[in-house]
């Protein structure tokens, strides 16, 4: 039983090369007429085994985590078989979407991370305190519970305060109505964070979070959505990422900020590597900085599937050196 002191990690993961996943995605795109949607681009579901480095980094640098939950759609990472019979076997588990989408089965299969995140507080057996990771995140050095949670259970957050930018979005919406065709708002992360802040009562500013692990408390999200079930249903109904969706991690952060139970702490930083656009020389500078700067505790390695082979090989080797390794295949 969770006594309130346990901390779990949740990682969302998908292997877009899996034939079953591809078939489900293509069937939905045909049925919905969204074949060209940016939210369905192959790189959003690409997998270069980043998940193994993510898990290895948690086991190495956050051994105090009680359990690691990998959330997926009828898939399991291949490395899990190598954990059988090890001390880590019971600490890493796969949770299928169907296990926590009860009451929302009509929205499955879903291909929107925002919809999945919106319900992940319902995972069976989840601890009260949770740290959420994308599968392209990794810890680069040891961290402590106090880097994510306050002594009373509140949140330690990272980010900077920004003004709400609603005027430009309102203009785009008016232009779309006037022209009667698709000037569609891009489902950007910053706009979604701003929307999430407004839901928590922040009208003129929001805490813009970088690509870092996100702490949350299950009881806070449960109380909010119990009071606003339609808001939950409206967010979950999108099966591809949409500009109409809020981000649950940002909502959780702003609910805690509004209640005075969160603190913004900038001491730990992230290196964000854009593998599809940054040249190798730039990436080498980023890796050198991450190796030398003790404040850089997190890595976000984006679009590794689109990187040139030399870049991919360099980054995977660097991740292995920083995250440690899981048991080798037999």
Q: For 99-157, write each residue's pLDDT tens digit.
A: 999 999 999 999 999 999 999 999 999 999 999 999 999 999 999 999 999 999 999 99
pTM of the predicted structure, to 2 decimals: 0.91
* Reported confidence tier of residue 42, pLDDT bands at 50, 70, 90: low
Query: Please, are residues 209 and 158 in contact by the beta-carbon 8 Å criterion?
Result: yes
Q: What is the average per-residue pLDDT within 2-31?
A: 90
Q: Which of 253, 248, 252 is nearest to 119 (CA)?
A: 248
pLDDT digits 0-9 by tens, 296-323: 999 999 999 999 999 999 999 999 999 9
Q: What is the pLDDT of residue 167?
A: 44
Calculate the CA dihedral of residues 11, 129, 210, 187 and round it to 10 degrees: 60
Residue 206 CA: distances (Å) to CA of 104, 160, 277: 30, 8, 28
Location of structure tokens 């319902």: 122
Location of structure tokens 């980023």: 286
Query: Please, are residues 252 and 221 in contact by the beta-carbon 8 Å criterion?
Result: yes
* CATH code, 7-323: 3.90.550
Q: What is the pLDDT of residue 4?
A: 73
pLDDT digits 0-9 by tens, 254-280: 999 999 999 999 999 999 999 989 999
* Gyration radius of the chain's alpha carbons: 20
Q: Which of 134, 138, 135 is nearest to 56 (CA)?
A: 138
250's CB contacts (< 8 A; 6+ apart) are 192, 193, 196, 197, 206, 207, 209
Q: What is the pLDDT of residue 41?
A: 74
* Reported confidence tier of residue 62, pLDDT bands at 50, 70, 90: very high
Query: Please, are residues 4 and 128 in contact by the beta-carbon 8 Å criterion?
Result: yes
């Amino acid at each position: 039983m969770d006594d309130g002191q346990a901390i779990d990690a949740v990682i969302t993961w998908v292997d877009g090369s899996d034939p079953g996943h591809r078939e489900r995605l293509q069937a939905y795109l045909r049925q919905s007429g969204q074949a060209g949607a940016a939210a369905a681009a192959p790189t959003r579901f690409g997998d270069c085994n980043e998940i193994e480095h993510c898990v290895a980094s948690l086991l190495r640098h956050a051994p105090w985590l009680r359990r690691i939950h990998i959330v997926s759609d009828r898939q399991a990472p291949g490395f899990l078989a190598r954990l059988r019979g090890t001390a880590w076997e019971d600490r890493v588990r796969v949770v299928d979407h169907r296990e926590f989408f009860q009451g929302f089965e009509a929205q499955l299969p879903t291909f929107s991370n925002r919809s999945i995140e919106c319900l992940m507080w319902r995972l069976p057996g989840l601890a009260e305190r949770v740290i959420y990771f994308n599968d392209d995140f990794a810890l680069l050095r040891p961290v402590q519970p106090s880097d994510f949670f306050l002594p009373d259970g509140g949140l330690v957050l990272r980010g900077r305060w920004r003004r709400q930018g609603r005027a430009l979005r309102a203009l785009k919406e008016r232009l779309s109505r006037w022209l009667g065709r698709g000037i569609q708002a891009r489902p950007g992360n910053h706009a979604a964070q701003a929307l999430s802040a407004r839901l928590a009562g922040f009208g003129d500013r929001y805490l813009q979070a970088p690509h870092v692990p996100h702490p949350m408390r299950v009881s806070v999200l449960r109380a909010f959505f119990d009071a606003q079930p339609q808001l939950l249903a409206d967010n979950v109904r999108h099966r591809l990422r949409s500009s109409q969706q809020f981000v649950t991690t940002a909502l959780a952060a702003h609910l805690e900020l509004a209640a005075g139970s969160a603190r913004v702490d900038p001491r730990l930083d992230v290196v964000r590597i854009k593998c599809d656009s940054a040249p190798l020389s730039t990436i080498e500078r980023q890796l050198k900085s991450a190796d030398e700067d003790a404040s850089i505790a997190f890595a976000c390695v984006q679009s590794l599937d689109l990187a040139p082979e030399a870049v991919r090989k360099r980054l995977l080797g660097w991740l292995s050196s920083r995250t440690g390794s899981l048991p080798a295949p037999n």
